Each structure stands twice: as C-alpha cells, then as structure tokens.
A and B are shown apart, each in its own frame.
Chain A
Amino acid sequence: SQKIEQNSEALNIQEGKTATLTCNYTNYSPAYLQWYRQDPGRGPVFLLLIRENEKEKRKERLKVTFDTTLKQSLFHITASQPADSATYLCARVGHDYKLSFGAGTTVTVRA
C-alpha cells in the first residue's frame, strides 16, 4: 500500500524563523503531492500542490520541494508568524482522486 509519513508530530519555532516540515512516501512517486493546513475544530484547507516533475513551488511565504530520489517533500514556512500556528498535512493523490494523508505536523510559532 502507498504510505505517507510526516515524521514530526510537533514543531515549535520562534517567530521570524523558518519552519521545515518533512513528508516521506513509499513505493512509486505520486503524480502530485499536496499540502493542507488544518486549524483546531476546522476542516483542512488546501495550500499548495507540487507535481512530480517540479522541483520547487512557492506561494507567498510558503515553499514546497519534491525530491523523487529521496521520496520526500519538504514544506517551508519562511518568516513565520504566530498566525501560522496550525497542523499541516501532506497528501498524495492516487487513482480516482483518492488522497492518502500523513498524520500531520502541528506547528506552534512563539511570539
């Protein structure tokens, strides 16, 4: 089965620093990897998508990389702010748009 692993349950960082989250997958590379943000008591919200043939994608202070050799995606939040505190989920897109999610990494940004 295709697995997605996010190897940090929690990440605490100082405001202004860069948070780096890791997502590892098994077996074949997915065509897409996606990242979502989830706030407590809310549904996940889509942030970014990166394709298999893309090395890097940016959106404002967010950056995602995709390394098919390492079978890994990194998600960076630069110049972090307390408002960035949330749980971030990595997901691979499979057949029929069935997404497999990692367990998530909870980021806490200290002022």
Chain B
Amino acid sequence: DAGITQSPRYKITETGRQVTLMCHQTWSHSYMFWYRQDLGHGLRLIYYSAAADITDKGEVPDGYVVSRSKTENFPLTLESATRSQTSVYFCASIPGGGTGELFFGEGSRLTVL
C-alpha cells in the first residue's frame, strides 16, 4: 500500500543502547521529517531532509543522527539512548512545491529504561 511506514511501532530499550527507528515512504516525496511528541510540548522537529543526501537539524537534534541515502528512507538513530528520549516519534513527508501539508506515519513509541 502507498503511504509512510514506521518501524518498529513499539520499542523498549535500556539507557546507553543504540536504537534505530525506520521510516519508509512510497510517494517519492522530496521532504522528510522526524518529530517527537511529548505531553506538554506537542510535536517538536528533530531533523529534516529536503532530498537524498541533504539533511539538517531541527529544534531538538541533540542525541540523534539521521541519514538519507535513498529518497524513500529516512532512518533516525539514537546513538546512546537516554531516558529523556522516551517519547513517541513521528516520521512525515511532503512532496515539495506545495503548501506544506504533512503526511505522517503512525508513530513509533520508544521507552528507554
């Protein structure tokens, strides 16, 4: 099915472990984004990418790494997970050239113990 798919949907890990959240979209949208959502803060931008091999920091990038070797994939890696990174992570995409309507994945709920 066409759309944007995140995996895993749920993940429990321990402090200090590396975790990678995957995001795959089938539309060939130019722009992709990673947001985290926490109570009281709403959605905050972690990283975004305007095209393959082009990435840039958002509002809260510390502790995260991204890559975009292919247009359709935009993985987010927590190199050494901390408890403060317990959150729900959303991947989203935009085709570019429009008015910025975001298409979101279903989210990945990460718990860091």
| B101, CB-defined interface residue at 8 Å | yes
Minimal beta-carbon separation of A22 from chain B (angstroms): 15
The answer to whether A99 and B42 have CB atoms under 8 Å apart is no
Residues of A within 8 A of B44 (CB): 101
Q: How far is the CA of A103 from the CA of B104 in the complex (A)?
A: 17
The answer to whether A96 and B31 have CB atoms under 8 Å apart is yes
Q: How far is the CA of A36 from the CA of B50 in the complex (A)?
A: 22
The answer to whether A43 and B96 have CB atoms under 8 Å apart is no
CB < 8 Å: which of B48, B99, B103 contacts A32?
B99
| A61, CB-defined interface residue at 8 Å | no
How many residues in A have their beta carbons less than 8 Å from beta carbons of B?
Answer: 23
The answer to whether A101 and B42 have CB atoms under 8 Å apart is yes
The answer to whether A42 and B107 have CB atoms under 8 Å apart is yes
The answer to whether A32 and B100 have CB atoms under 8 Å apart is yes
The answer to whether B104 and A43 have CB atoms under 8 Å apart is yes
Bits for A73-109, please: 1 = Cβ < 8 Å to B, else 0: 0000000000000000101010011111111100000
| A16, CB-defined interface residue at 8 Å | no
The answer to whether A46 and B102 have CB atoms under 8 Å apart is yes
Bits for B70-81, please: 1 = Cβ < 8 Å to A, else 0: 000000000000
The answer to whether B102 and A102 have CB atoms under 8 Å apart is no
The answer to whether B41 and A103 have CB atoms under 8 Å apart is yes
Given contacts A97-B94, A98-B48, contact A89 B43 (CB under 8 A): yes
Residues of B within 8 A of A100 (CB): 45
Q: Which residues of B contact A (CB under 8 A)?
A: 31, 33, 35, 40-45, 48, 50, 56, 58, 90, 92, 94, 96, 99-107
- A to B CB contacts below 8 Å, 27 in the list: A32-B100, A34-B100, A34-B101, A41-B106, A43-B90, A43-B92, A43-B104, A44-B43, A44-B104, A45-B104, A46-B101, A89-B43, A93-B99, A96-B48, A96-B56, A97-B31, A97-B94, A97-B96, A97-B100, A97-B102, A98-B45, A98-B48, A98-B58, A99-B45, A101-B42, A101-B43, A103-B41
